[in-house]
Amino acid sequence: MAIEIRISTGSSVPIYRQLFDQFCRAVLTGALGEGDQVPSVRALAERLVVNPNTVARTYGELIREGVLEARKGKGVFVARRRLVYTKAERLRRVQEPLDAFVNRALVVGLTPGEIRGLLEEKLAVLEKEQKGEDSHG
Amino acid sequence: MAIEIRISTGSSVPIYRQLFDQFCRAVLTGALGEGDQVPSVRALAERLVVNPNTVARTYGELIREGVLEARKGKGVFVARRRLVYTKAERLRRVQEPLDAFVNRALVVGLTPGEIRGLLEEKLAVLEKEQKGEDSHG
Amino acid sequence: MAIEIRISTGSSVPIYRQLFDQFCRAVLTGALGEGDQVPSVRALAERLVVNPNTVARTYGELIREGVLEARKGKGVFVARRRLVYTKAERLRRVQEPLDAFVNRALVVGLTPGEIRGLLEEKLAVLEKEQKGEDSHG
Amino acid sequence: MAIEIRISTGSSVPIYRQLFDQFCRAVLTGALGEGDQVPSVRALAERLVVNPNTVARTYGELIREGVLEARKGKGVFVARRRLVYTKAERLRRVQEPLDAFVNRALVVGLTPGEIRGLLEEKLAVLEKEQKGEDSHG
DNA sequence: GTGGTCTAGACCACG
DNA sequence: GTGGTCTAGACCACC
């Protein structure tokens, strides 16, 4: 199996969103390469113990975005076309969540130092995960 | 000048949330100071052409978070800043926006270095705004 | 047995407040434990013959206070107990009910000794209830 | 002047309620004796910087309860009839605020010991105040 | 089915 | 005039 997916049911982030993001990241980092087959809707739903509709919705959105492509009767695969944003587009798309995060952090009383620390922690965790994936890719 | 509030009805972020964030921001930058009166529920609702309940909800949440305080029959005012949540709770309450930010950044193709840079920029801007407001308060 | 909730529409204390207090009580005594699902907004509203919004408001406040947590599409559940507020904030948030209690006691003609006695009784009762619930949980 | 009245505008307890309680307590402790004249509505309103309607409402309720009595053209006086509750009535009237206080305290995370401490503090303050009043009555 | 958001409009308490 | 509570009913997102 080429990709490790984890979801948290307690989060307010919808499950289909968590799946979507993880597939995007896997493709970006190369954990999933062009032409790789992804698990079937039923298989993934069973593995994650979620509603198949939820997985189907994720795949649907990824297909519409051009990240995946369905080949009838064969399964779903990583598409050739990669999602690529211009620099300006990247910044635009990240601005709102950045604002929301910093705003929230300051209002609840975190200091700039603590805010930086939180980001570093998160990035560290992600880098570790990524290395883990590379080694058994 | 009364505080300037704008909402976008098309956005996926709920109106009450947009209002909440803008009031937080105004308090953080010093545009709204302790003891200042905010617009009445009805006045703001009329100005923004939204339902008074929506504004009331925003004010209610800001009051519960300790940002504003209501004086019945008088109006709603900016409260004295104070630390409301325990350290653990502050971290907890900032976790989701942090995840949302980092996730979006990664999905969009930003590197950890770029992500750090964006945060630094944002913190710098906010510190400058704060100083600016103090001087013409 | 689902949790038993009763409201009195004639009371001066708002319905959402009555509900709030009863859920708090149930969690404190152990009648509702971590992870338990509470009635759906619609179901409880129907059972009590109140507007669903009123129930939703109660749940919303309990969620913000960390007593409950919502899982979209699943329902509302009892959250893991945790300390949400700083010491100062805890004191602040208990000040008004304290004042109300002492005031009422004095106005009604109770002596400081009697007031102490009432508090002790109440604390004793609650401790007993808690033990009772634990044993047949 | 026979009675010292203090109000806090920040509190969520309505001003008329604060006044009402303080008059009741003054009569109970003897700080205000039968036949004593209380300040005129206008005088008290001016002294406390509140709306005369608010004072008028307080006096009205105290008169309806039989604590005060109005003598036309003369002013308002402490009535002969004292508010007296039976023991059962006293307990009944104090039960609800007691519950509210203890409930709230436990939910925000205060321990029984801290709750006792808060009550003691409050009672200590009140006893000190009362002594102060006696000395310059 | 679940909860979340919003509107429209009523009534009350307070000052 | 102010905010607080409640109802009735709509539409949406999620599972």
Question: pLDDT by residue (tens digit) across D23-36?
Answer: 998 888 888 999 99
| Cβ-defined contact of B97 to A104 (cutoff 8 Å) | yes
- Enumerate the residues of chain C whose CB falls inside 8 A of the CB of residue B83: 86, 88-89
- Enumerate the residues of chain C whose CB falls inside 8 A of the CB of residue D83: 109
Task: Place A84 in a pLDDT band, splitting at 50, 70 and 90.
Answer: confident
Task: Place D2 in a pLDDT band, splitting at 50, 70 and 90.
Answer: low
The Å distance, CA of B108 to C1' of F10, is 36
The span from the first CA to the last CA of chain D, in angstroms, equals: 8
Q: Least CA distance to A21: which residue of chain B?
A: B107
Backbone φ, ψ for residue C102 (5° rounding): -60, -45
| Cβ-defined contact of B69 to D14 (cutoff 8 Å) | no
CA–CA dist A90, A88 (Å, integer): 5
Mean pLDDT of B119-127: 91
CA–CA dist B100, D5 (Å, integer): 53
Task: Say which residue, B10 or B89, is predicted with more confidence.
Answer: B89
- Enumerate the residues of chain C whose CB falls inside 8 A of the CB of residue D96: 13
Q: Which amino acid is at A68?
A: L
Nucleotides of F under 7 A from a protein CB: 1-10, 13-15
Residue B8: predicted pLDDT: 92
Nucleotide nearest the Cα atom of B16 (by C1'): E5
Q: Does C124 touch chain D (CB under 8 A)?
A: no
Mean pLDDT of D34-44: 93
| Cβ-defined contact of B72 to D12 (cutoff 8 Å) | yes
Residue C65's nearest CA partner among C96, C42, C93 is C93
Instruction: Report which secondary-structure segment, H or E, holds D37.
Output: strand D37-38
List beta partners, residue A70.
A76
Instruction: Give the protein-side footprint of strand F (Cβ within 7 Å).
Output: A 14-17, 50-51, 53-54; B 40-43, 53, 56, 59-60, 63, 70, 72-76; C 14-17, 50-54, 57, 72-74
Distance from CA of C52 to the nearest CA of B (A): 16
Q: Are D34 and D57 contacting, i.e. CB atoms less than 8 angstroms apart?
A: no
pLDDT for A130 beyond 60: yes
The Å distance, CA of A86 to C1' of E7, is 40
CA–CA dist B78, B69 (Å, integer): 6
Q: Are B76 and B63 contacting, i.e. CB atoms less than 8 angstroms apart?
A: yes
pLDDT for C85 beyond 90: yes
Q: Write the pLDDT tens digit of every residue in A100-114.
A: 999 999 999 999 999
Q: Are D38 and D76 contacting, i.e. CB atoms less than 8 angstroms apart?
A: yes
Residue C3: predicted pLDDT: 82
| DSSP secondary structure of chain A | --------SSSSS-HHHHHHHHHHHHHHHTSS-TTPEEPPHHHHHHHHT--HHHHHHHHHHHHHTTSEEEETTTEEEE-SSPP---HHHHHHHHHHHHHHHHHHHHHHT--HHHHHHHHHHHHHHHHHHHHHHHHT-
Which C-chain residues 51-110 have CB contacts (< 8 A) with chain B? 61, 64, 66, 82-86, 88-89
List beta partners, residue B83.
none
pLDDT for D118 beyond 70: yes
User: Two tokens at B40?
Assistant: 């009445």
| Cβ-defined contact of B71 to D9 (cutoff 8 Å) | yes
Residue D127: predicted pLDDT: 77
User: Two tokens at B113?
Assistant: 């270095």
List CB contacts of D32: < 8 A, sequence separation 6 or more: D2, D3, D23, D26, D38, D78
Other beta carbons less than 10 A from residue D8's beta carbon: 9
Distance from CA of B19 to the nearest CA of D (A): 24
Count Cβ atoms within 10 A of the Cβ of residue A45 and give its class: 0-12 exposed, 13-18 middle, 19 or more buried: middle
> Of the ranges C52-66, D55-69, D118-132, which one carries the lowest mean pLDDT score?
D118-132
Instruction: Report which secondary-structure segment, H or E, holds D71.
Output: strand D68-71
Residue A78's nearest CA partner among A67, A62, A92 is A67
**% pLDDT > 70, chain C:** 94
Q: Least CA distance to D13: which residue of chain B?
A: B72
pLDDT for D13 beyond 70: yes
Residue A126: predicted pLDDT: 78
Residue with the two structure tokens 């970006």: A28
List CB contacts of D65: < 8 A, sequence separation 6 or more: D83
- Enumerate the residues of chain B whose CB falls inside 8 A of the CB of residue C86: 83-86
Mean pLDDT of C89-96: 95
D73: left (phi > 0), else alpha (psi -120 to 50), else beta? left
Task: Place C134 in a pLDDT band, splitting at 50, 70 and 90.
Answer: low
Nucleotide nearest the Cα atom of B74 (by C1'): F2
- Enumerate the residues of chain B whose CB falls inside 8 A of the CB of residue D9: 71, 74
Residue C14: predicted pLDDT: 93
Nucleotides of E under 7 A from a protein CB: 1-9, 13-15
Distance from CA of B84 to the nearest CA of C (A): 6
CA–CA dist A36, A53 (Å, integer): 22
Q: Write the pLDDT tens digit of every residue in B43-99.
A: 999 999 999 999 999 999 999 999 999 988 889 999 999 999 999 999 999 999 999
- Enumerate the residues of chain A whose CB falls inside 8 A of the CB of residue C64: none
E-state strands within chain C: 37-38, 68-71, 75-78
Mean pLDDT of B127-135: 67
| Cβ-defined contact of C85 to B88 (cutoff 8 Å) | no
Nucleotide nearest the Cα atom of D54 (by C1'): E15
List CB contacts of A91: < 8 A, sequence separation 6 or more: B118
Q: What is the pTM of this model?
A: 0.91
List CB contacts of A63: < 8 A, sequence separation 6 or more: A69, A70, A76
Chain B: list its partners (3+ Cβ pairs within 8 Å).
A, C, D
Q: Write the pLDDT tens digit of every residue in A12-43.
A: 889 999 999 999 988 888 889 999 999 999 99
CA–CA dist C68, C60 (Å, integer): 9
Task: Place C132 in a pLDDT band, splitting at 50, 70 and 90.
Answer: low
- Touching status, chains D and A (3+ beta-carbon pairs under 8 Å): no
User: Two tokens at D119?
Assistant: 């009550």
Task: Give long-range contacts, CB 8 A cutoff, 24+ apart: A10-19.
Answer: A10/C69, A10/C71, A11/B96, A12/B96, A12/C70, A12/C72, A13/B96, A13/B99, A13/B100, A14/C72, A15/A50, A15/A54, A16/A54, A16/A55, A16/A57, A16/A58, A16/A61, A19/A54, A19/A55, A19/A58
User: Two tokens at D37?
Assistant: 């004249």
Q: Least CA distance to A15: which residue of chain C?
A: C72
CA–CA dist D11, B71 (Å, integer): 8
